[in-house]
Amino acid sequence: MAQLMADPLPETMFTLSRVGDIAVLNVTCPAIRERQAEVLGRYLCELTGHTGGRIVLEVGGVGSFSCAWINELLSVTRRCRAMGGDLVLLGMPLRDWRVLESTGLSRHLTLTRSRTDALNRLGAGEVAPWRLAVARLLDIPVGSRAS
């Protein structure tokens, strides 16, 4: 009997936008398990090469995740940092944030609650606020200098 391959990301939705050379990826799904973690991890690793390792990952829409997802996040973070950037996790639910803190894993990840803070951590602090607002509204890249 032939086995059907299930879509590894059946209920996962993600959107990619850019602020200058920073990638902002928003992931929404009920759960990230081993297969989803592997697929998303590969995508994030590929994305590091296009952004110099500067990625904001919005994870507020992720219902739950496995250790495989944490391992992928740690791996991508190391890769980003080796390139002079970072993977900044934005909007992690408080319960998950507390788990990462209590296990000591938060020392190896960059966590924030604010999109502005996330972008500032990656060097987008010089971008004029109006440019950030327009970029978010129109989902377009924005220059890195304030005007």
Q: What is the pLDDT of residue 5?
A: 40
Q: What is the pLDDT of residue 3?
A: 40
Angle, vertex CA 55, rays to CA 20 and CA 9, nearest 5: 120
Q: What is the pLDDT of residue 138?
A: 74
Do 56 and 46 touch, CB atoms closer than 8 A? no
Q: What is the pLDDT of residue 1?
A: 34
Q: What predicted TM-score, i.e. pTM, was given to this entire model?
A: 0.79
Q: What is the pLDDT of residue 146?
A: 40
Nearest to 35 by CA among 69, 2, 79: 69
Rounded to 10°, the helix 67-82/34-51 angle is: 10
- Name the strand (E) or helix (H) holding 30: strand 22-32
For 28, counting Cβ atoms within 10 Å of its Cβ (0-12 exposed, 13-18 middle, 19+ buried), the class is middle
Q: What is the pLDDT of residue 25?
A: 94
Domains and CATH numbers, the chain: 13-138 (3.30.750.24)
CB within 8 Å of 144: residues ≥ 6 apart: 20, 21, 123, 124, 126, 127
What does pLDDT average to in each consecutive run of 10 residues of the chain (147 residues)? 46 82 92 92 94 95 93 97 97 92 95 91 73 71 48
What are the φ and ψ backbone dihedral angles of 59, each rounded to 5 degrees?
-115, 15
Q: What is the pLDDT of residue 85?
A: 96
What are the φ and ψ backbone dihedral angles of 19, each rounded to 5 degrees?
-125, 100
Q: What is the pLDDT of residue 140?
A: 67
